[in-house]
Amino acid sequence: MSFKILISDKIESICPEIFSKAGFTVDEKSGLTPAELQAAIGDYHGLVVRSATTVTEKVLASGAAGNLKIVGRAGAGLDNIDLKAAEAHGIKVVNTPGLNANAVAELVIAYLVILARKLGPAMSSIKAGRWEKKGLAGTEISGKTIGLVGLGAVGRLVAKKAIGLGLSVIAYDPFLTKADIEAAGVSEAALDQIWAQADFISLHLPKTPETVNLIGAEVLSKVKKSAFIINCARGGLVDEEALSVALTEGRLAGAAADVFVSEPPDGSPLLALDNFVATPHLGASTLEAQLGVAEKVAELMVDFLTGVVK
């Protein structure tokens, strides 16, 4: 049987190449509207997405009415796929956790240095023709404490790299035992301990109803004024309005984000602040990570559809 695959987001060429070598027919159609995706999906046995495509219940119902058997997410996060609807319709969902973990962890470490040394405003200043040293003195990260909220694949790599840079690491993860956390060379901490003690707070958890706006006005009232918050996980984990107020009022030293509630974050007051730095969802945007997730998602889907994995 010849299977048909739709790739609805831009992806490395190794992905369609693997499908083609397996004898599959592949269509690459990025930028489809929800209505266009819903209308087309029933013709395909498999759908490959990254973060741009939202796979809704309507899309999955349309696919289930046709040929759709599997959705593959080239990446770790699954918040753009309605998992309950997929299960209800008998559609398999696969993803590629861990393969972009090092890329994200390296970005977190980069943000540690950027924030601590005030490199954002320093670079803007010198490009504007100013030579400013006063007011741009930073702080060293060695000897400081980083608090990790979540100690999965990315969190563990951040911990390892942070320890190598001389930081103490404390972490909270409700899915791990104290022994699991300590095995990673990290000290277990409750959330309130992280808010009160950490010089850097880095988020490494999925977006769920329980984690939306995890860091809001109440938490921001508990953190050190000298602390920095980093979110390279998911938009919506931090209340962006509350963060903007805390940064503006000097109740937080700085923050960094690679992800936002709305992407792009047009009109966000955060973007005008010197003590806030950001990137356009670049966490997994390295050559190595892009190749890894593209290759793995294709392999998983080929195996499933050809019956290697039921």
Residue 187 to residue 109: CA distance in whole angstroms: 19
Q: Per the residue annotation, which of 36, 87, 182, 263 is the catalytic one?
A: 263
- CB of 9 within 8 A of CB of 15? no
Residue type at position 56: T
Establish whether 156 is a catalytic residue. no
Q: Per the residue annotation, which of 89, 117, 251, 281 is the catalytic one?
A: 281
Residue 104 to residue 175: CA distance in whole angstroms: 21
Residue 194 to residue 113: CA distance in whole angstroms: 20
- CB of 169 within 8 A of CB of 187? yes
Establish whether 234 is a catalytic residue. yes
Vertex 270: Cα angle to 267 and 272 (nearest 5):
80
Vertex 281: Cα angle to 224 and 162 (nearest 5):
45
Question: CA torsion, points 75, 79, 81, 84, in degrees to nearest 10?
Answer: 130
Establish whether 281 is a catalytic residue. yes
Q: Per the residue annotation, which of 204, 234, 240, 299 is the catalytic one?
A: 234
The residues, ordered by sequence, that sit 6+ positions from 49 with a Cβ below 8 Å of its Cβ are 8, 9, 55, 71, 72, 73, 74, 80, 81
Could you give the residue numbers annotated as active site?
Answer: 234, 263, 281
